Amino acid sequence: MSKIIAINSGSSSLKFTLYQMPEEIVLTSGQAERIGLERGVFTISVKGKKISTEVDIPNHKKAIELMLDGLVKYHIVSDISEITAAGHRIVQGGIYYSDSVKATDEVVERIEEVSDLAPLHNPAHLVCFKAFKEVLPSIEHVFVFDTAFHQTMGPESYIYPLPYEWYKEHAIRKYGAHGTSHKYVSQRTAELMDKKCEDVNIITMHLGNGASISAVKGGRCINTSMGLTPLGGIMMGTRCGDIDPSIVIYMMKKYGYSAEEMDTYLNKKSGMLGVSGISSDSRDVSNAAKEGNERALLTNAIYTNRIINTVGGYYCQLGHVDALAFTAGIGEHSAETREDILKGLQEALGLSIDYELNKSVHGECLISKPDSRIAVYVVPTNEELAIVRDTIEVLGL
Ligand code: ADP
């Protein structure tokens, strides 16, 4: 029996989940928020109840200390030496990693090298990893990359029609993201179908604040919608997804926007928020749509249309599809969005959906009828579990 902790750190936050393995029992989870800002908040779950404390968290080292102290203080472990290993989510692994790896100095150097591609995330992951090592030097660490699952794509999927030298000299290509989620959900979908993942082709739709779609052929990703960075692909909460690149040039010339300003428009002021002018949260947009708000209705129509286009393309690229799987905040919880998407796809893909069942989904659920040409599932993602499973595997525990 071992206790493995999954760590997901951002520039100002650190989320953790402690598992007892191999039983896959969650012992606790929690987070440190507002790291480096005024009035930090540390939250830990104790016997199903969340306990939040306002406390200054000047840096990630302090966040790690709070986490380890909390585990002992609330009797989740009797001593921090009970923690066997840690698995860290790393957003960008570049071309180097197609699987999770043990954290060595060489790996750390490579992650630093590709930090330009994830400037908000990779440096924060490393700060957190180094702080953890300092506070608890005895345990092993594993890095689990968001990009790894997508490394099986062929060049026809990952090379952009740009000067080839940009790819060779600057590593400009599609890397994708949410790989841990797409891998977990595609594997779980195969299990629910009682099939081996090698024997099925699945299109996974991770529809959260950030959103991406992957085409998974026999367990291997052959295309994904996010690109060089998570800005590419389908429409998201605040990100635009794929657009005509000349729009960027046009607006920069016309209004003299700097690169930073343009980056803010595309990453933070576009997507559902940009079109609706209401919110980046799909619930707010849907509520406004129900009241007949034109821009909210338009937002939902664009959102659905972009997903249909991507799924349709991946359907053709896969040649044959056994299942579609919805996951993440919107994919798991918004019956309306699923219905809009499925109604758009059903004729072309031969889907037969139980729309009543779709309205009452909780957790894992098959929402297509037996006569559907393609099975359709809702599968809650579990990136933390995927991280600790990989940690165990990599370390041979
Ligand atoms: P993140 O990318 O931040 O992890 P999530 O996977 O939590 O995002 O998804 C956030 C999105 O999920 C938001 O747009 C939110 O409106 C939507 N969402 C969450 N819960 C529900 C719900 N019960 N019904 C409809 N939409 C939901």
Contacts of 313 (CB under 8 A, 6+ apart): none
339 class by beta-carbon count within 10 Å (0-12 exposed, 13-18 middle, 19+ buried): middle
348 class by beta-carbon count within 10 Å (0-12 exposed, 13-18 middle, 19+ buried): exposed
Residue 161 corresponds to which tokens in the numbers above? 């029609």
Residue 365 corresponds to which tokens in the numbers above? 């659920």
Whole-number pLDDT of residue 192: 98
Ligand 1 centroid distance, CA of 238 (Å): 13
Catalytic entry in 99, 105, 146, 263: 146
Residue 118 corresponds to which tokens in the numbers above? 């994830």
Per the CB < 8 A criterion, the answer to whether 322 and 196 are in contact is: no
Dump pLDDT digits (tens) for 68-106: 999 999 999 999 999 999 999 999 999 899 999 999 999
Q: Which pLDDT band holds residue 12 (cuts at 50, 70, 90)?
A: confident
Whole-number pLDDT of residue 276: 97
Give this prediction's pTM: 0.94
Cα–Cα distance between 228 and 208 in angstroms, integer?
19
- Check the CA dihedral 383-386-390-392 and report its sign: positive
- Tell me the pLDDT of the chain averaged across its residues: 95
- CA 334-281-227 angle, to 5 degrees, is 90
What are the two backbone dihedrals, phi and then psi, of residue 131, each rounded to the nearest 5 degrees?
-65, -40
Dump pLDDT digits (tens) for 347-385: 999 999 999 999 999 999 999 999 999 999 999 999 999
Whole-number pLDDT of residue 109: 94
Pocket residue to mutate for ligand 1, from 185, 272, 282, most atoms within 8 A of Cβ? 282
Per the CB < 8 A criterion, the answer to whether 30 and 70 are in contact is: yes
pLDDT at 11 over 80: no
Cα–Cα distance between 98 and 343 in angstroms, integer?
35
- Please give the residue that has the higher pLDDT: either 379 or 34: 379
Pocket residue to mutate for ligand 1, from 209, 238, 275, 341, most atoms within 8 A of Cβ? 209
Q: Is 105 a catalytic residue?
A: no
Whole-number pLDDT of residue 390: 96
Whole-number pLDDT of residue 119: 81
pLDDT at 42 over 80: yes
Whole-number pLDDT of residue 38: 85
Whole-number pLDDT of residue 120: 78
Q: Which pLDDT band holds residue 10 (cuts at 50, 70, 90)?
A: confident
Cα–Cα distance between 187 and 197 in angstroms, integer?
6
Cα–Cα distance between 209 and 214 in angstroms, integer?
16
Cα–Cα distance between 103 and 88 in angstroms, integer?
9
User: Distance of CA 24 to CAs 18, 20, 143, 386, 388, Å?
Assistant: 10, 6, 19, 10, 9
Ligand 1 centroid distance, CA of 205 (Å): 13
Whole-number pLDDT of residue 297: 98
DSSP calls for 339-375? HHHHHHHHHHHT--B-HHHHHT--SSEE-B-TT-SSE
Between 72-76, 92-96, 299-303, 318-322, the lowest mean confidence (pLDDT) is in 92-96
Q: Which pLDDT band holds residue 289 (cuts at 50, 70, 90)?
A: very high
Across residues 139-167, what is the average pLDDT? 97
Whole-number pLDDT of residue 108: 95
**Percent of the chain whose predicted confidence (pLDDT) is above 70:** 100
Cα–Cα distance between 379 and 83 in angstroms, integer?
29
Whole-number pLDDT of residue 136: 86
Torsion of CA 239, 229, 385, 200, to 10 degrees: 100
Whole-number pLDDT of residue 118: 85
Ligand 1 centroid distance, CA of 267 (Å): 17
Dump pLDDT digits (tens) for 100-139: 999 999 999 999 999 988 887 898 899 999 988 988 888 9
